[in-house]
């Protein structure tokens, strides 16, 4: 267990693609935080919702000519947020 495991939790993986951290060109880190919301909370569910939605997207973009499956992406999970002061 490294220090990284102490500060993040793994729920699901962005797009279903997971490369080793050392080999990744892009790193995804979720920040589930909605403590400062005064009316409608729920932003804390955003990172997981983005990951779930990423499983259902078309991976190839005709506009950019890039296939997401070819990108080296590492999902670090969600940052542990302390709500105490």
Cβ–Cβ contacts within 10 Å for residue 77, how many? 20
Predicted pLDDT at 36:
80
Predicted pLDDT at 7:
58
Specify whether the backbone of 80 is left (phi greater than 0), alpha (psi in -120 to 50) or beta: beta
Q: Which residue has the tokens 């005709």?
A: 62
- Global pTM reads 0.74
Token pair belonging to 58: 């078309």
Burial class (CB in 10 A: 0-12, 13-18, 19+), 29: middle
Residue by residue, pLDDT tens for the chain (85 residues) are 555 555 566 667 888 888 898 999 999 998 888 888 788 888 888 898 999 898 898 889 999 999 988 999 999 888 887 766 5
For the chain, the structural domain boundaries read 3-79
Predicted pLDDT at 17:
80
């Amino acid at each position: 267990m490294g220090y990284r495991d102490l500060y993040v939790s793994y729920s699901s993986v962005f797009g279903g693609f997971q490369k080793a951290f050392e080999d990744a060109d892009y790193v995804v880190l979720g920040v589930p935080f909605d403590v400062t919301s005064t009316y409608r909370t729920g932003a804390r569910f955003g990172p997981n919702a983005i990951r779930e939605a990423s499983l259902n997207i078309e991976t190839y973009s005709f506009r950019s000519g890039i296939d997401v499956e070819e990108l080296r992406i590492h999902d670090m999970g969600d940052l542990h947020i302390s709500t105490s002061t």
